Amino acid sequence: MRVLFCILSLFVAFNLFGKEINVTYPTGMFHLQLIVMRKKGLLQKEFAKDGVKIKFHDITNGLEQARAASDGKIDVCASLNTTSIITAAGQNIKLNIIGAVSNPINTLALLTLKPNIKSVKDLKGKTVACIRGGTFHQLLLEALAKNNMTIKDVNYLPMSISQTYSAMLDGKVDAAVLTITQMLDAKKRGARVLITARGLMRPKLVVAVTESFAKNHPSWVGRYMKVQNEAMEFIKNHKREALQLAAEDQGVSYKDAEWLHSNTNLIKTLNKDDIMSLKDDIEFLFRQKLIPKRVDILSRGTAIDIIFEDFVKNQISICAVSSPSILEAFHASSDNSLRYN
């Protein structure tokens, strides 16, 4: 028995040697848990004892994160908006949500520097820029729809966050969808908020992995979420230090970091409002032709704990929600047309 144990131990050590976990680290996004995890070395320390290295990748665009995960280049999408996950699902890229990050309702906004633009209605015929296919894009579409307009009523230019920000400051576009540091800096330069996500949509940032990664490395996924929860506890007990780390990471003042924290709404799991809003997001994105079909995003039977067995063959499995009854309510209230592949 002792010989067998030694052989198994050597096998495990050999199997882990040289392994690494590739994690996205979107710069310019206020994901305080991830900032603490990286800056305090929590994630690195957790896996170092097994000889597993953590490699961070700066990928901000949500769809690019999803595609990188699908291609095997990324293991953990550490801060990914659910709009991008739904859009990816429409392209047959399947991801599993293993945890939640935040609800940045107040830190996502449509802004302008043009004095003659007073409201969203004034954007008719004007040039507007933002990322295509993610939460930024959805906010723009939702804002236009609320004012009885469509994307055809504006000159829409898809750009990265940095390109969008620069284009607005340079006067090359009339309005732009921005978030976090770019939004704060734009406001300091005289930009005015035309509308935020509040009352329009419910942005949801989550942690996601591919189905194959979750099946092949369930302990890694569980340990990742354990570390994220430890980071949440650190933020709770050492708020000032956490915000100082965030201010340095984001290149903003402590006061700005404090404002971002108070307006980001950090979360561990998706609650009832989050889950129910996913259904609305899917329907809206389908009507806007951002997805070719209504996708099935919630599997029955998932609960508050991370679940690794019996992954259903859906585009997305929610593996971390705040109550099993939420899923039952979602499926009970959803039309059958929302649940086919």
Q: What digits encode the pLDDT tens for the residues 61-107?
A: 999 999 999 999 999 999 999 999 999 988 889 888 889 999 999 99
320: confidence class by pLDDT, cuts 50, 70, 90: low
Cα atoms in the Cβ-side hemisphere of radius 13 Å centred on 95: 35
Type of residue found at 172:
K
29: confidence class by pLDDT, cuts 50, 70, 90: confident
Domains, the chain: 2-105+203-338 (3.40.190.10), 109-196 (3.40.190.10)
> Would you say residue 27 has pLDDT above 80?
yes
Q: Which of 69-73, 289-293, 325-329 has the highest mean pLDDT?
A: 69-73
Q: What is the pLDDT of residue 70?
A: 94
For 101, the token pair is: 């990050």
Q: What is the pLDDT of residue 241?
A: 98
Output 248 or 319, whichever has higher pLDDT.
Answer: 248
Q: What digits encode the pLDDT tens for the residues 110-153?
A: 999 999 999 999 999 999 999 988 899 999 999 999 999 999 99
- Cα separation, 187 vs 108, in Å, equals 13
Q: What is the pLDDT of residue 5?
A: 46
**For the chain, what is the mean pLDDT?**
84
- Cα separation, 235 vs 254, in Å, equals 15
For 11, the token pair is: 């096998």
What pTM was estimated for this model as a whole? 0.82
Give percent of the chain with pLDDT exceeding 90: 61
Q: Do residues 190 and 112 make contact, with C-beta atoms less than 8 angstroms apart?
A: no
Q: What digits encode the pLDDT tens for the residues 254-272?
A: 999 999 999 989 998 888 8
> Would you say residue 182 has pLDDT above 60?
yes
> Would you say residue 210 has pLDDT above 60?
yes
**How would you list the strands of the sheet with 192-196, edge to edge?**
155-158, 127-130, 175-179, 108-112, 192-196
For 62, the token pair is: 């949500």
306: confidence class by pLDDT, cuts 50, 70, 90: very low
Q: What is the pLDDT of residue 337?
A: 35
Q: What is the pLDDT of residue 85?
A: 92
326: confidence class by pLDDT, cuts 50, 70, 90: very low
